[in-house]
Structure 1
Amino acid sequence: LYGFVSALSGSPTAVAAGEAPKDGKDEGKPSAIVSNAKYDDIALFGRVINFIEKQYVDKVNTRELVYGAIKGMLETLDPHSNFMPPDVYSQLKSDTAGKFGGLGIEVWVNKDGVLTIVTPMEGTPAWKAGVKPGDRIMRINGESTKGMSIVEATTRIRGEIGSEVKFTVARDGAPKPIDFKMKRVTIDVKSVKAELLEEKFAYVKLNHFQEKTAQEVKAALAKMESKRKISGMILDLRNNPGGLLDEAVDTVNLFVDKGPIVSTIGRNKEEKDVKYAKSGIARLDFPMVVLVNGSSASAAEIVSGALKDHKRALVAGSRTFGKGSVQTVIPLADDVG
């Protein structure tokens, strides 16, 4: 669920994340002893559930107990690892397809455990209401967000189209918390926006990396070139919170003809997954500039870092968000993940 990402091996933008604990508790112990301890812990979990089912004052739902335990287990790892019950898992699949209901904000849990807005999506209710990157969400519909996971927050923010949601944020420089009230709408994320500047420079804005983003970039370039040959390109990744890793890799491959694009390394350093550019695809016939800011995160950082490391583009703007981890969606039983 958590790994290591760099635009190129040894890149200065590399970020280590999710390393195995270094307390050495299991080092040097025979594998049989470690294995037995693990089974003892699992047996303890079973005894606790059995006790609750028999002794708790109210009747309990065993599945809800198990789901809650798994959720708590994953929350001890990092802010990005989450358990998704059926409703949330179904919602995630809708998100990556680019269409869902909500307010149009990307959130994460910062290093202090506070639910924080990465960016509002352009044209959405949150964008129009004046929500800012870095706003810290204190309450959603009157409920405190303290200890709330990203999955829980997302579930509360979304709801029936046309219904209202209220949330309160703390903002740097603001004398007091700011209250927002807005109606949920269908969020249809347009991944790619493009236009021809001064009749020769391609401007491509990527809002999110979702299904078919790379294809849409390629199509946008072809459409602009049907009018006039492109002399240069601006790739705007400002306020891009990331998205699908494979789409980020395919986007880089549109402009890089060879070499590694990104590598991922998990706990086992020997298992290194390197994504390489495929030759014969890339456009190398015009210069590029990539625009980034503090809300350019994850997949957006991979794209900008790879283009910079391959000396394919000049990267301009401010320091990026700094998320160098990759999450993998793992389907489990009963449509959970």
Structure 2
Amino acid sequence: MKKTNWVELIQFWMTAAVILMLTAGSVYGAEEKTYEALKLFADVLEELENNYVDEVKPEELVRNAIMGMVGNLDPHSSFMPPDAFEDLQDDTKGEFSGIGIVITMKDGILTVVSPIEGTPAYEAGITAGDIIVKIDDVSTKDIAMWESVKKMRGPRYEQVTITIIREGAPAPLVFTLKRDMIPMTSVRSAIPAPGFGYLRITNFRMNTLDDVVEQLSELEKQENGLKGLIIDLRDNPGGLLDQAIRISDLFIDKGIIVSIKGRIKKNNQEFKAHPNFPERNYPIVTLINGGSASASEIVAGALKDNSRSLILGTTSFGKGSVQTVRPLNKDGFGLKYTIARYYTPSGHSIQAKGIQPDIRVEPGTVEQAPKDDSAFDLILKEKDLKNSLKPEEEAKNKKKTQKDAEIEKLNKDIQVKRALDILISYGVFSKINGTN
């Protein structure tokens, strides 16, 4: 192919576009500006082909230009080569090996949205808001999102080193992580106290709704049903929109769940709740934090605005935009771009604002009060007496299971503990007021 062929091809399509505009009687305004911009692009391409110090591949110049064009729209829009487009499908469908973090470009800086629970990044202590400045000693300045994802993924058990800047840390933090398979399980549950349930949703994948329904059914089998539920969406980076909507619908019988509004009318949608059988009338406290993004913010916003749940924790991430993904050609290129914004049932956009908690509680653990030996006589209890009979449950010499250890961990989590206290208090006051 001759060097001028690419330029001639662009000029051909420009001429065809002008003819179509003339036929339609509209050659001025926006169309004329588009034509002038395309002409400028063709001129630059021709100049570089003919005179750049090294020989250039025009198809690479065009692709890089497209990447720049799309990447400058917003942090969530991107033009993806085949391998990056394939990786995008893996995020919600199949397994992949990596370190387990969700990232975004925030003001051109590679930033952690949240670590995925149970992954190398999560276990190492990487947190939402961390800024990744290097991957294997390669700077992330001006790196494309798909490139950074590709660098952090790789064969299982192979190591990757990332350097992070964290607010409040006096120096950069270096993490050497061993890649592992990223877990597809997104839901788990526990019973932190008799009659009360804990439902943890780590992300929204293709089977998340089925897992939520299954776990809920188990929790609701308790004697006298559920008295209250804690839904934990902390560090949940989001995922599939339809899963978030259908999970919200499990707890809301009527009203709007979320609305989507874009520049083009066909992208406008409104999703409404439907009556549930069985009804779920128990009180709910939903936990969120700065790592709760996108689909998890839709759930939290729907439950909050429909007065179905109290929201506890810290302000969520604030990703309130909707993306669509389009395959472009047989070579496997893809285009992801923003088409609309999310709006909560009350009509508020969460973009760059996030969901505000009803009760703000910072993360932490419940510390055991120190024992004052000098005052032992003031706090002496029956259980402290020599040869005192043990409680019945201890007398049964029940072994501590992994489930017990998980519940113990939950009860030391300040935010979970506060949520449980609220639910228990609600039940007590309901009885006092005769509403139960």
Shorter-normalised TM-score: what interval?
0.7 to 0.9
Q: Which residue of 1 aligns with 2:333?
A: 336
Q: Which residue of 1 aligns with 2:209?
A: 214
Q: Is it true that 1:108 corresponds to 2:94 in the alignment? A: no
Question: Mind listing any 5+ residue stretches in structure 1 that lack a counterpart?
Answer: 1-29
Query: Contact conserved, 1:257 with 1:282, CA < 8 A, in 2?
Result: no
| Structure whose residues are more often helix by fraction | 2
Q: Is it true that 1:35 corresponds to 2:31 in the alignment? A: yes
Q: Which residue of 1 aligns with 2:248?
A: 252
1:207 is aligned with what amino acid?
T
- How far the C-alpha of 1:209 sits from its partner, in A, is 1.0
Deviations 1:138-180 (A, max 9, x none): 1111111122232222121112222221111111111111111
Q: Which residue of 2 aligns with 1:225?
A: 220
Which of 113, 119, 125 is the aligned partner of 1:124?
119
Query: Contact conserved, 1:138 with 1:168, CA < 8 A, in 2?
Result: yes
1: CA distance between counterparts of 2:72 and 2:179?
32
Query: Contact conserved, 2:118 with 2:183, CA < 8 A, in 1?
Result: no
What percentage of residue pairs aligned between the two structures are identical? Answer: 44
Query: Contact conserved, 1:98 with 1:188, CA < 8 A, in 2?
Result: no
Which of 142, 146, 153 is the aligned partner of 2:137?
142
1: CA distance between counterparts of 2:231 and 2:64?
42
Query: Contact conserved, 1:98 with 1:210, CA < 8 A, in 2?
Result: no
Q: 1:130 to 1:44 in 2, by over 3 A?
A: same
Q: Is it true that 1:311 corresponds to 2:268 in the alignment? A: no
Query: Contact conserved, 1:100 with 1:186, CA < 8 A, in 2?
Result: yes
Q: 1:115 to 1:71 in 2, by over 3 A?
A: same
- How far the C-alpha of 1:75 sits from its partner, in A, is 1.5
Q: 1:73 to 1:283 in 2, by over 3 A?
A: farther
- How far the C-alpha of 1:224 sits from its partner, in A, is 3.0
**After superposition, where does 1:175-214 map in structure 2 within 5 Å?**
175-214=170-209
Q: Which residue of 1 aligns with 2:155?
A: 160
2: CA distance between counterparts of 1:238 and 1:271?
29
- Bigger RCO of structures 1 and 2 (CA < 8 A, at least 6 apart): 1
2:326 partner SS: coil
- How far the C-alpha of 1:64 sits from its partner, in A, is 2.7
Which of 231, 234, 237 is the aligned partner of 1:241?
237
Q: Is it true that 1:65 corresponds to 2:61 in the alignment? A: yes
Deviations 1:207-244 (A, max 9, x none): 01111211210111123334542222111001111111
Which of 77, 80, 83 is the aligned partner of 2:79?
83
2:38 is aligned with what amino acid?
I
Which of 279, 282, 288 is the aligned partner of 1:286?
282
2:333 is aligned with what amino acid?
V
Moved over 6 A (4+): none
Q: How many residues align?
A: 307
Which of 296, 301, 310 is the aligned partner of 1:300?
296
Q: 1:299 to 1:31 in 2, by over 3 A?
A: farther
- How far the C-alpha of 1:50 sits from its partner, in A, is 4.5
Q: 1:310 to 1:222 in 2, by over 3 A?
A: same
CA RMSD, 1 decimal: 2.1
Q: Under a length normalisation based on structure 1, what TM-score does the superposition of the two structures give? A: 0.84
1: CA distance between counterparts of 2:55 and 2:156?
34
2:215 partner SS: helix
Q: Which of 1 and 2 has greater Rg?
A: 2
Deviations 1:3-22 (A, max 9, x none): xxxxxxxxxxxxxxxxxxxx
Q: Which residue of 2 aligns with 1:20?
A: none
- How far the C-alpha of 1:58 sits from its partner, in A, is 4.2
1:180 partner SS: strand
1: CA distance between counterparts of 2:156 and 2:267?
44
Q: Which moved more, 1:233-242 or 1:326-335?
A: 326-335
